[in-house]
Structure 1
């Protein structure tokens, strides 16, 4: 009888493993330890499962089995196996052994776990003094190994089948850490419903190249890829590209891609604005069918001083203000779109829609070039670390007209305890409205270029979508009649109360 795999049990078991660290170090620190151990446990289970399968098939023929294992997606040196580490958990030196295991794993797998001189586990050390003195550290890591050795975390393919339980557990953990880390969450996490919405709006197709220049943990990129596979019988005929400035977050993205089986990807480490890494063989910016991102809102110190001499010509429409990098990311993304098929979705704060000065001039140019396709206002409190409402801007390289669709989806949400979320119904309504492309009373408006010019290129949504609800007219005569009736009833009640009091001997 096949064992029933329960995703919630796996998620809760992994989240429960965090108790090992709670009270010792902050969640923002132990996040990397938990996610890395989950990664190591998974690949160890896959490797062991496949090894056992070959052993059952070919018997006691270690040389043949070793040869067969060379065709695996990855190489797992014996000292890098979770099970080797687990067997030695009572010995001193757990931290050093785990670090050595990770280093050997990187060396054995080449570019899969590296980007030039940068390796996935470079910023992660289990042999850290942050876990306390040697004896305490060794005990904590023993407990951690024992947590991941629980039967609930048997992630072998023979048990979990084709279910993406490991990828789901990884995404679950990233979401939980984001919910608990406040402001820092925006560095690596886009809420899954927002990623779903962006993927639906951009409608990726077979063969598309898809890029996120501020990719965080890679969830938005993978949602776009998954959309292609869902529509095409599981075919993964697409390519994912990304760049991430923060080293530890880049590591998350690389592990996330690996765990989801996204082998056709290229995730670079570095500052997209100051040092774009996704370049063609001539050293020019690569071009993509889809470019999508949730870049940091109004980033200070984004690279203003170097923008005037940008060799890629990204700021020919103007240089964004020194303390607000929103348009720096937008202009970079525009320049990486393919001339005909290119389409783009970017999450921005509302200030991008109406701020003046250099941003106003850039916005005017983008509109005059007929690149802007839609402006979609989102509800407040969707994103971790900020309660402000955001908007999605959709750009297209080849449009059939010069209109811009405005959608006010600010009331499309399901209220949560601390965060609002987009329900599947909310997403479906937004996507259907965008695809239909017409006016919807108090929800969407298709504005002409002439109207936008008359509004001085201000894209503030209330200028186009009238959501005003008239208050019901008050009938003053009816209100007066109701007041007189209440006065009469009050007089009658007071008379009756006086009668009862007199009967009880409390009369005047």
Structure 2
């Protein structure tokens, strides 16, 4: 039953985007739809809770709206109610600005965009937690329509579609997962622009289960993603931990729109505000966090691949990079992101990062950094993923697992590049593929044509090149040709051809011919006879 509800909710939410699809591309309309879904969630939650506080519990939003409006007219009741709402939710709304009231105004022909804009401002000004949360929802954009009236109508149409959904009435992570579904759909529609805000769920699952291995029952588990996007990697820890209510989330994101998306995503997944530590800034330019805690039980990262960064000489004194003596090149910040994440890993922690294969074998500064990491035993596992499983690139990628204070300097290589299901737009990692990788990771043993545990000496002999084909031989020899059998098959085939020719000539003899076709038949017989 729950699965049916989820699918219905997912599809209804996605269908709401139909109104905007003809007006703008996915990277734009995602802000409107996700913003409006979030506003409805906050509004509906406030109305239901108000009815509970007033001991008039109801599951009907219009009834809850009426109860809220009545309480608002009683000064004494209103003051007490707003105080409780602010304490419980950190925000309040005037009755005429709730999502339900605005939809009622739409059907009465009295809806004005300014009322919705005011509702956004009220939420944003209620608490630091909601500050600037709706700044990407431009209600007066020309993309919604050339005139104010058309802009008004576009938003009103989306709100009417969403109004029938009970977004606040779903238990657990149902709505949060539906929100993740929407983000994933937007990523699919956005193509290359999606890489900045979304990691496909199968990859997230794989990375999360690795960092949680033998730690899924740990209370107060801390996870850090310095390139968090929409927060999907962080939130997967909640999904697979046995102590989800105690997890501490730390995340940083450069893109403000994506940062706001992650904040909404956290709230919709029911993450307590005291457990959220999210920051909007440039991860490489300025280190964060710099105040305790600064090191974490796990680090999960899917940074932008081969991005440019300043690589200024001053970074050689930065504790994140200083021990390596060189910096990642300006044109490829891959190792800068890796070293940043590794710096913030606890001595007992596990880090998983997705990067392009170039980091495994490129030379110069990157080669020196890789050598130092290997000499220190930092690189634990290298996993080769299939091509075309990400929305923003078709290239094959690698998940690198890093640890601190390891007893050995060996590296496990897993070549999972051939295990996938071909999809319409992207290749898919299925559950059996993920489990195969995880099982191999845990056993840490050689698997023919799939995995190899390389000792440090072997890696040293390869000049610290970690290119997976150097360690995992996936070459399949073709079966030898049996000349005798092939000869027999050719003789049989020749006999079949002769029999077919004879049958064909017999058919020609039986045909009734005219003077015009007689010559053609005779020529045909002569050709076969010469053969």
For 1:441, the equivalent position in structure 2 comes to 448
Contact 1:80 1:104 in 2 (8 A): no
CA drift of 1:76 comes to: 2.5
For 1:148, the equivalent position in structure 2 comes to 162
Contact 1:381 1:388 in 2 (8 A): yes
Aligned residues: 488
Secondary structure of the 1:76 match is coil
CA drift of 1:251 comes to: 0.5
CA drift of 1:54 comes to: 2.7
Q: C-alpha separation between the residues in 1 aligned to 2:90 and 2:289?
A: 25
Write the deviation string for residues 75-127 of structure 1: whole angstroms up to 9, x where unpaired.
Answer: 2222542123223336577332222211110111x22223xxxx222233212
CA drift of 1:141 comes to: 1.4
Indicate how the Cα distance of structure 1 residues 92 and 311 shifts in structure 2: closer, same or farther if over 3 A, else same: farther
Secondary structure of the 1:383 match is coil
For 1:225, the equivalent position in structure 2 comes to 238
CA drift of 1:421 comes to: 1.4
CA drift of 1:286 comes to: 1.5
Q: Is 1:98 equivalent to 2:105 in the alignment?
A: no
Contact 1:92 1:138 in 2 (8 A): no
For 1:208, the equivalent position in structure 2 comes to 221
Aligned-CA RMSD value: 2.1
TM-score by length of 1: 0.91
Contact 1:225 1:240 in 2 (8 A): no
Secondary structure of the 2:408 match is coil
For 2:149, the equivalent position in structure 1 comes to 135
Q: C-alpha separation between the residues in 2 aligned to 1:112 and 1:336?
A: 25
TM-score by length of 2: 0.87
What are the residue-to-residue correspondences of 1:149-228 with 2, within 5 Å? 149-150=163-164, 153-157=165-169, 160=170, 162-203=171-212, 204=215, 205-228=218-241
- 2:333 is aligned, of 325, 344, 352, to 325
Structure 1: gaps spanning 5 or more residues = none
Q: C-alpha separation between the residues in 1 aligned to 2:397 and 2:54?
A: 55
What are the residue-to-residue correspondences of 1:362-441 with 2, within 5 Å? 362-441=369-448
Contact 2:300 2:352 in 1 (8 A): yes
For 1:486, the equivalent position in structure 2 comes to 493
- 1:76 is aligned, of 78, 88, 92, to 92
Q: C-alpha separation between the residues in 2 aligned to 1:149 and 1:57?
A: 22
Q: Is 1:268 equivalent to 2:282 in the alignment?
A: no
Q: C-alpha separation between the residues in 2 aligned to 1:343 and 1:423?
A: 24
What are the residue-to-residue correspondences of 1:459-498 with 2, within 5 Å? 459-498=466-505
Contact 1:274 1:306 in 2 (8 A): no
Q: C-alpha separation between the residues in 2 aligned to 1:65 and 1:386?
A: 51
Secondary structure of the 2:16 match is helix
CA drift of 1:7 comes to: 1.0
Q: C-alpha separation between the residues in 2 aligned to 1:303 and 1:312?
A: 17
Write the deviation string for residues 190-226 of structure 1: whole angstroms up to 9, x where unpaired.
Answer: 0011110001111153222110000000000010233
Write the deviation string for residues 483-504 of structure 1: whole angstroms up to 9, x where unpaired.
Answer: 1221122112111211121122
Q: C-alpha separation between the residues in 2 aligned to 1:32 and 1:293?
A: 24
Q: Is 1:239 equivalent to 2:256 in the alignment?
A: no
Q: C-alpha separation between the residues in 1 aligned to 2:314 and 2:485?
A: 67
Larger Rg: 2
CA drift of 1:392 comes to: 0.4
Richer in helix (by share): 2
For 2:528, the equivalent position in structure 1 comes to none
Q: C-alpha separation between the residues in 2 aligned to 1:148 and 1:401?
A: 56
Q: Is 1:503 equivalent to 2:502 in the alignment?
A: no
CA drift of 1:265 comes to: 1.1
Indicate how the Cα distance of structure 1 residues 224 and 163 shifts in structure 2: closer, same or farther if over 3 A, else same: closer
Q: Is 1:249 equivalent to 2:258 in the alignment?
A: yes
For 1:279, the equivalent position in structure 2 comes to 290
- 1:346 is aligned, of 353, 365, 376, to 353
Indicate how the Cα distance of structure 1 residues 473 and 309 shifts in structure 2: closer, same or farther if over 3 A, else same: closer
